[in-house]
Amino acid sequence: MTRAVSNGYAVYALLLLCLANIANYGQRMVVSILLPAIKTDVALTDAQLGLLMGGGFAIFYAIAGVPLARFADRHGRVRWLSTAIIFWSAATGLFAMARTFLEMLAARVALGTGQSMCIPTSHSLLGDYVKAENRPFALGVHSAGGVLGATLAMVLGGYLGPRIGWRAVLGLFALGGMAFAAIIWLTLREPVAARAPVDSGYVPLRRVIPHLVALRSYVLVLIAACFAMLVEYGLNQWLPSYYVRQFALPVEDVGYRYGVAIAVGGVPGSVFGGMWVTSLARRDARWLVWFPAIMYMAAIPTGLCMLLASSASVALVLNACYAFAIFSTNGALWGACFVHVPAELRATTSALTLLVAGIAGLAVGPVVVGLLSDALTARLGQQSLQISLVAVECLAILVVAPLLLAGPFVAREGRARVGFAQPVHSSGS
């Protein structure tokens, strides 16, 4: 059974899911610009800050995503997405009230658990609202929400932090998230997809994983995603602190200028990257992996020049160029993950991708930077964070190699139509 969805309502649904991603990244990233104040107030080390930004948040973000996304896919994605936003907003509020490292870590764990449902559930909904040939563009627009959320976090956090305190800033972000959850609950309807009914189309996890592992294109894209997330979050969570330390800029100035750099580069990168790869992939599906490989090859020297720049102004201009290259790959990478995946597996595929890439990348990147910085402080002083970020950026070459290797398999598996011949009727997990 299907229900027609107008183009106008599909655009509205994409807008709401983009806004959900703004709330997702905004509450996740606002702590980054507030790190100097938090470090001073609670007397934390760089390693502890790295655990708050990465390990403590990311492990639960990754692990919880699979069961929660599958649960939402069966029991109402819109309703449970709204519930998740309320939950993670409450966790942001609890972080604002925390007085010790362990209390902060517990709040970040709760934040990661709630936010783990956002992207897989949104990807599943977009798959039902948007035609297959337009999905890379829609996924790029959705990813632009993450850029805007990070920008909002940097600009508002940097401006309000010195004026009202970091705890009050987090409280405002929490209240905003809860208000937005109500909008989704009241105005976004659950689509009836052009697939089997939700319960009868449910595929047990023991069938999903072997299917994905058999897709060599997916495995290679997943490897690339792991290193992409390691580099992206290793840099993004620490760059605000880097600008404060390296160039002695005030937090307010960093919040505004870094936020603008991310927005100027990342928003058009996400949107135009999605448009370009949508057009290219219609002619040859291998562009889903060729395009991000090319953009990462351009991003590596740009990122290194950014980190080694002698002035903040030059570094921030290069930061905008770097953001354009990196965020332009989001639609393509997610499109490559889903290109040979049946409709009933989209949410689970998204969650499994975030599980593996989240643990390998998101959990590791910020922690590695923090540990390296602490280890090098005695020898390098203020430059320890800079060298740590340079080391992590060099790992981006490990994003390019598997993407280039994936090209032939994208085409070959497309011709073979690897997939499920029939939906599996089961309630197992």
Cα-based angle 208, 209, 213 (whole degrees, multiple of 5): 120
Phi and psi based region of residue 369 (left: phi greater than 0; alpha: psi -120 to 50; beta: remaining): alpha
- Look at residue 55 in the predicted model and tell me its pLDDT: 67
| Whole-number Å distance between alpha carbons of 279 and 200 | 35
Q: Supply the pLDDT for residue 221.
A: 94
For the chain, residues with pLDDT lower than 50 are 1-3, 194-201, 415-429
Report how far apart, in Å, the C-alpha atoms of 97 and of each of 92, 100, 107, 108, 167 are: 9, 10, 10, 12, 7
- 403 near 220, Cβ under 8 Å? yes
Q: Which residues contact 253 (CB under 8 A, 6 or more apart)?
A: 158
Domains of the chain are 7-190+199-416 (1.20.1250.20)
Q: Are 331 and 139 a contacting pair, CB within 8 Å?
A: yes
The dihedrals phi and psi of 417, each to the nearest 5 degrees, come to 55, 55
pLDDT value of residue 234: 86
Strands (E), 20-117: none
Residue-level pLDDT at 27: 93
168 is written with which tokens?
């009050």
CA atoms within 13 A on the CB side of 411: 9
Give pLDDT tens digits for 392-428: 999 999 999 999 999 888 877 754 444 443 333 333 3
pLDDT of residue 371: 87
Please name the residues in contact with 244: beta carbons below 8 A apart, sequence gap of 6 or more.
36, 250, 251, 254
Q: Within a 13 Å sphere around the CA of 112, how many CA atoms are in the beta-carbon half?
A: 27
Which H or E run contains 310?
none
pLDDT of 178 reads 93
| Among candidate residues 345, 74, 67, the one with its CA nearest the CA of residue 213 | 345
Short-list 25, 34, 92, CA closest to 254: 34
Whole-prediction pTM value?
Answer: 0.74
Q: What is the pLDDT of residue 427?
A: 33
Neighbours of 313 (CB within 10 A): 11
Q: Which two tokens stand for residue 299?
A: 């991003």
Measured CA to CA, the distance from residue 119 to residue 83 in angstroms comes to 14
Count of CB atoms situated within 10 Å of the CB of 171? 17
